């Protein structure tokens, strides 16, 4: 079965999605060598803000996540419908705004944008797909 949503799919309803966010070309979230994996300062901010999402939206649970040098993968389980007007996309828009704001404050920059625009969400419709 395809994981593509039907036309007009409601991204505010309960379900599971694998979300991928791509970092901008000049942003590094971690460094991987043959012997180690180490989050960058930006990677730590990303990880901390990812863990905070359920505090804003108790309906959303963050499952496994993997921070890569230039992107982030995370499983989000929306256990109950999100509030009216809130979608998977708006949750991650808020996440990115929070990450950018903390990076601006921490690195004393007038402008800071960690991730590229948008996201890639692969919806999980069956246990086999999960």
Does residue 6 form part of some domain?
Answer: no
Does residue 10 form part of some domain?
Answer: no
- Number of structural domains (the chain) is 1
| Closest-CA residue to 56 (of 90, 100, 6, 7) | 90
Does residue 130 form part of some domain?
Answer: no
- The predicted pLDDT at position 1 comes to 38
Show the 3-state SS of 79-90: CCCCCCCCCHHH
Which residues constitute the domain of residue 46? Answer: 15-124
Does residue 88 form part of some domain?
Answer: yes
pTM summary value: 0.89
Token pair listed for 59 = 């309906």
Q: Helix 41-56 vs helix 88-106: angle between axes, to the nearest 10 degrees?
A: 140
Does residue 4 form part of some domain?
Answer: no
10-residue mean pLDDT series, the chain (130 residues): 62 91 94 88 97 96 94 95 94 96 91 91 78
Residue 26 burial by Cβ neighbours in a 10 Å radius (0-12, 13-18, 19+): exposed
CATH number at residue 55: 3.30.70.1290
d(CA 28, CA 11): 29
Does residue 9 form part of some domain?
Answer: no
- The predicted pLDDT at position 4 comes to 56
Does residue 98 form part of some domain?
Answer: yes
Say if residues 95 and 53 touch (Cβ distance below 8 Å).
yes
* Signed CA dihedral, 38, 41, 42, 43: sign only: positive
| Closest-CA residue to 70 (of 120, 23, 36, 32) | 23
- The predicted pLDDT at position 126 comes to 74
């Amino acid at each position: 079965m395809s994981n593509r949503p039907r036309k007009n799919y409601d991204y505010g309803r309960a379900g599971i999605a694998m979300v991928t966010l791509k970092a901008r070309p000049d942003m590094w979230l971690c460094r991987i060598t043959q012997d180690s994996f180490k989050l960058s300062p930006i990677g730590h901010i990303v990880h901390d803000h990812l863990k905070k999402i359920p505090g804003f939206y108790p309906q959303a649970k963050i499952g496994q996540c993997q921070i890569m040098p230039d992107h982030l993968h995370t499983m989000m389980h929306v256990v109950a419908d999100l509030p009216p007007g809130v979608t998977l996309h708006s949750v991650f828009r808020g996440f990115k705004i929070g990450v950018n704001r903390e990076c601006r404050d921490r690195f004393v920059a007038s402008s800071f944008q960690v991730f590229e625009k948008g996201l890639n969400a692969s919806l999980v419709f069956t246990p086999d797909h999960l």
